[in-house]
Structure 1
Amino acid sequence: MKLTTKQKQFLKGLAHSLKPVVQLGANGLTEGVVAEIDNALAHHELIKVKVPSDDRDEKALIMDAIVRETDAAKLQVIGHVLVIYRPSEARKIELPRK
């Protein structure tokens, strides 16, 4: 999914006040966690996922796997929090024109 800079900025502004919807536990990225993220994206379109990991490389790999598995757009990473967007069938968020 390709988003313009203007669209990314708009979505980041909307995500600012959101709390993480999904938080990875000690088991890391499991099929259940991916399914939960997928459900949250279908319902909310724009979510935050908390990935508590001390290893930067591991955290980056987990975040990339989340984006790949859910077919979402990675908007930003702040510390341990990943902000992703995937439009749903109902299109709850109206993006600015390109």
Structure 2
Amino acid sequence: MLTGKQKRYLRAKAHHIDPIFQVGKGGINGNLIDQLNDALEKRELIKVSVLQNNMDEKEVLAEELARRVYGELVQVIGSTIILYKPSRNHKQLELPR
């Protein structure tokens, strides 16, 4: 579980990152989860864009993504979801305490 201070730190780091995944009308599938896990292992912090043709509630979709990749939901802002998962082999971010 992330503290407020850690979430603020991660939001600041994610500000300059572009979304690298999109969730469309197909929603969440196993292939997307596998790709998200690979990206989170390499980057630790990613943005996911939710397209307009996806009719799911963005907050529910974000919580589902975080749960399925065993990561942390940092923020949902507009149609963008920010996810964090500490990497095992490519540690880049040091979170404040």
Category of TM-score, reference length = shorter chain: 0.7 to 0.9
How far has the Cα of 1:95 moved from its partner?
A: 1.2
The answer to whether residue 97 in structure 2 is matched with residue 94 in structure 1 is no
Q: What is the TM-score when the length of structure 1 is the normalising length?
A: 0.86
Distance in 1 between residues matched to 2:29 and 2:56, nearest whole Å: 18
In structure 1, what is the equivalent of residue 64 of structure 2?
A: 65
What one-letter code is carried by the residue in structure 2 that aligns with 1:49? V
How far has the Cα of 1:55 moved from its partner?
A: 6.9
For the Cα contact (< 8 Å) 2:26–2:54, is it kept in 1? no
Matches within 5 A, 1:67-86: 67-86=66-85
In structure 2, what is the equivalent of residue 47 of structure 1?
A: 46
In structure 1, what is the equivalent of residue 11 of structure 2?
A: 12
Moved more, 47-56 or 8-17: 47-56
How far has the Cα of 1:69 moved from its partner?
A: 0.2
CA RMSD in angstroms, aligned pairs only = 1.8
Unaligned ranges ≥5, structure 1: none
How far has the Cα of 1:56 moved from its partner?
A: 6.9
1:39-69 deviation digits (Å, cap 9, x = unpaired): 1111100000111246775333222110110
How far has the Cα of 1:70 moved from its partner?
A: 0.5
Paired residue total? 96
Partner of 1:82, secondary structure, is strand
Partner of 2:74, secondary structure, is strand
Distance in 2 between residues matched to 1:57 and 1:24, nearest whole Å: 10
